[in-house]
A and B are shown apart, each in its own frame.
Chain A
Amino acid sequence: MKNWKWTLPVGLLAIVAIALWFEPAFADKLSEAIAKAPQGTEPGQIDPSKPAGFLGIPGSPVVNPILAFCWAVWVGWIFSTVGAFGGVMAGVGHMSVFGFGTYAGSFKKTAPDLGKIVTDSIKASNQFLVGLSAAISSFNYLKMKRLVVPLAITLGLGSLLGAWLAQELSAGKLDFKSYQGYFGLFVLLLGGWLLYETTPAGQAKKQTAKKAAKAFEDAAKKQASGESVDPKNVGLHINHFSISKCAFTFYGVPFQFNPLIPFLGGIVISAVAAFLGVGGGFLLVPFLTSVTQLPMYLAAGTSALAVLVSMVTSIITLLMKGTPIEWHFIGLEMLGIAVGSFVGPMTSKYFSDVWLKRLFIVLSLYVGIGYLLAGFFNYKIPGV
């Protein structure tokens, strides 16, 4: 375990490589689904005379690479400017802007297998786009060795199980309408939560936290040195670890949590992330800091391991299930996100963070309600 920071990621990536080895063996799954679909020119039918588009299916949406690139620039710009909504916008692009959603939905009755494969591919594209970036960016926190090993193991095991279960139970079984409905519900909840944070009640909690921190900083400055810290208390010390209790001290202050809670939390968060095709890091860190009260200093690194495990598990399970992925499309979108992240900081001074956040809250509520209605009630609202 001495060189775990190398052996762990290299080992996980080796497993991905092995999964890729088997990928061509599963390529026939898409061909079989296409062969089973009825031929014709109506929606829900395959027209062999049309040019091949998404996933090489004749008559599927042909996305202009410039449109895909521009949308990804928008995703990267939002993500780097507001610090959120990247995953939501990536999903909106795949489902609505590029027309993959309507296309997948059209096969619900005529060729459900093909519809489910296209839905899995959309889901996987979302996850690769958002999750891969998150996993790589959080890797630096992992390298800093700022992690509580027992917690990382329980959270990692939970994440592995959650991601595997979600893909195992949903891959090839989820039709587009259901996926759209659940994605809409997630976006709506996210928008609702962000809206709550802008209300006086939501702001009050933040203001209280800011006041407490400010008062403490001021008092510390006045006292200049304050109380001295016992050197043996500096850093993290695990005092007890069992199946039902993990007790540690951080800077001499005792903390304890039940390891089953992060394990279950890892399962739920990773399962939700894998099922919806979003990154899980943005949920794991608040979970760790609120449930285990772990300091941010350690939460970032500990969650990084779980994100990496969850992402690798999802990739392997999707590939082993034969989900087709348009790598050039993901690569092009990654380039767009990089450009958007380049432009974002240059233009952010011209926009108010608060107003941008409010704008995107409105947008996410609209998109969330739209997808929810379209997915679960077959009711379409304009633009979604």
Chain B
Amino acid sequence: MNDFLLRAFLGLDAVLIAPFRLVDDARAGFACGILVTALGAALMGRACAAAVDRVQRAKRTRQEAEIKRHQDTSFSALAVKDRETYLAANHLAQEAYGNAMALAAGRAAALIWPALMVLAWATWRFSGVPLPLVGESAGPAVFFIPAYLAAQWGLGRLKRAKAARRDRAGS
């Protein structure tokens, strides 16, 4: 079992280090590696979150519908100044929200685990290595986290643009 884990780790190491060696220049190679691994982690995270979301869909839809039903009831109660019903419906909506949040936390875990793994790997791989611009005063997280956030932001924009195009084509 230990051999299997070691082989799996070495295989992963070979894949993750490859983009850092795409360019001969060390600084450019480091930048390239950080950007590619950040994009890869963001893509993989989104794919995993989408898979979890797909499996959760029925339950999530049910719970979100319940939240919405109680919220609508509470708004209607407010509209006719029925404070007691408002508080009752609000309490029920809060319970349903707790369950929906538990599902959302699962999707969040699916979204960020690749980034944490890459971060852990990069911290180990570049331990004691002076990095561009910061030397040994900082770890690779300083470069990886902004790159990862930028990748997530960019992918989010792409997804929204794609959805908008699809909507326009459909209408």
Q: Which residues of A contact B (CB under 8 A)?
A: 10, 13-14, 16-17, 20-25, 65-66, 76, 79-80, 82-84, 86, 130, 132-134, 136-138, 140, 206, 208-210, 212-213, 215-217, 220, 226-227, 229, 233, 250-253, 281-282, 285-286, 289, 293, 295-297, 299-300, 326-332, 334-335, 337-338, 340-342, 344-346, 348
From the candidates B70, B75, B84, B114, name the one contacting A251 in the complex (CB within 8 A). Answer: B75
A229 touches B104 (CB 8 A): no
A340–B56 CA distance with the chains assembled, in angstroms = 11
Closest Cβ of chain A: how far from B76's Cβ, in Å? 6
Closest Cβ of chain A: how far from B61's Cβ, in Å? 11
Closest Cβ of chain A: how far from B24's Cβ, in Å? 28
Closest Cβ of chain B: how far from A281's Cβ, in Å? 7
Smallest CB-CB A-B distances: 7 pairs: A341-B106, A331-B116, A137-B104, A328-B120, A338-B110, A251-B78, A334-B113
The residue of chain B having its C-beta at the shortest distance from the C-beta of A24 within the complex is: B139
* Chain B residues near A132 (CB-CB < 8 A): 108, 112
A65 and B88 in contact, given A253-B83, A341-B106 (Cβ under 8 angstroms): no
* Chain B residues near A300 (CB-CB < 8 A): 97
A293–B145 CA distance with the chains assembled, in angstroms = 38
Closest Cβ of chain A: how far from B45's Cβ, in Å? 9
- From residue 109 to 123 of chain B, which have CB atoms closer than 8 A to chain A? 109-117, 119-121, 123
Interface size for chain B: under 10, 10 to 19, 20 to 34, or 35 or more residues? 35 or more
- Additional pairs, 10, CB under 8 Å, beyond known A24-B137, A133-B109, A342-B55: A10-B149, A14-B146, A83-B98, A216-B73, A220-B76, A252-B78, A327-B116, A327-B119, A332-B113, A338-B52
Interface centre among A17, A331, A335 (most CB of B within 10 A): A331
Interface centre among B58, B77, B101, B145 (most CB of A within 10 A): B101
Q: Is B46 an interface residue (CB 8 A)?
A: no
Q: Is B13 an interface residue (CB 8 A)?
A: no
* Chain A residues near B119 (CB-CB < 8 A): 327, 331
